[in-house]
Amino acid sequence: MAYILQNDGDSFEKHYWTLFLSHYFPSYGDYWSNSVAPLTNRPQNIHFKSSSVLTAEGHTPEEICLAQIHYTLFKHLVRAFEIINKLT
């Protein structure tokens, strides 16, 4: 199943995708679609699959860590965007 951030992301991701990510970081959505979303139980549950399920599907610990870091980076980008917009 193909995932699209603006349709399948959480509400926070959808909101900020529209506000700035799609314009300034368009490849963020591609990486998310190919490397993050498949590690979750979408569409019914946005949270990551269990470690045992991910391992059984052939995902490495490194892939899981990168997907988690990806969301952390997203939250930092959001915070920077909010700070910049308060200054202007």
Pairwise CA distance, residues 5 & 3, whole Å = 6
Task: Please identify every stretch of the chain with a pLDDT value under 70, giving residue numbers as ranges.
Answer: 1, 88
Q: Residue 32's pLDDT is what?
A: 92
- Using a 10 angstrom Cβ sphere, with 0-12 exposed, 13-18 middle and 19 or more buried, the burial of residue 2 is exposed
Q: Residue 29's pLDDT is what?
A: 92
* pTM assigned to the model: 0.82
Neighbours of 39 (CB within 10 A): 20
Q: Residue 1's pLDDT is what?
A: 66
